Structure 1
């Protein structure tokens, strides 16, 4: 029998998560609604990713962070679950760093992602 699995993450900001998913070309829907699983099983999520097999995955807030909620037996994404979370975490961290640098008065000079997945972020700050 299949069931939903909840995988903890360190993702705390929903708008940054939405931006990351968009950047990774993952279609998502913001909906505080149940996601569909095997045999019409449901689980609430704040963000839903519909899959071609009609078994949704999503992110649900647990009070501290957003957990990935999925019926792992029906995972149909271009990456493995671990690869999916690795990509999300990498881009999420880079976006948070970029936001924090801007808060500190820096401006981003370049943001380059290599074929190996390494992100180089260069920022500068002019001091008078």
Structure 2
């Protein structure tokens, strides 16, 4: 049986979320619309992201952070839904670190993906 999954996230910065979605190859719309599950049920969302599929996934603002809304059974992408979610959260975290470090006066020296899939970021600030 198909249904929506609501996944809590720590995503609270819309600009970084939009940049993350763009980097992952997703188009998005920041207007309230709805997405459908496999059974035709609908869910109103604040942001819709799509990648060659109509209304692929959505995000709902709960006052503190964005929750991801999707029907994993409708997911027909090269990566599994779980891999996509992990990758999205990792990219969001990297972009958050980058944004915050620049805001605090740091410069990024390098960024490297390690064999285990983690990302090593080196930043510095001259005083």
Question: What is the number of residues matched between the two proteins?
Answer: 127
1:47 is matched with 47
Supply the distance in 2 between the matched residues of 1:86 and 1:79 (Cα, whole angstroms).
11
Give the alignment's TM-score, normalised by structure 1. 0.83
Q: Aligned runs of 1:11-30 on 2, under 5 Å?
A: 11-30=11-30
After TM superposition, give the deviation of residue 52 of structure 1 in Å: 5.0
Consecutive unaligned residues of structure 2, counting only runs of 5 or more, are none
Consecutive unaligned residues of structure 1, counting only runs of 5 or more, are none
Give the alignment's TM-score, normalised by structure 2. 0.83
Supply the distance in 1 between the matched residues of 2:65 and 2:117 (Cα, whole angstroms).
25
Which range moves more in the overlay, 102-111 or 33-42? Answer: 33-42
1:68 is matched with 68
1:81-111 C-alpha deviation (Å, 9 max, x unpaired) = 2211111111111111111211221111223
Supply the distance in 1 between the matched residues of 2:55 and 2:39 (Cα, whole angstroms).
9
Supply the distance in 1 between the matched residues of 2:52 and 2:24 (Cα, whole angstroms).
17
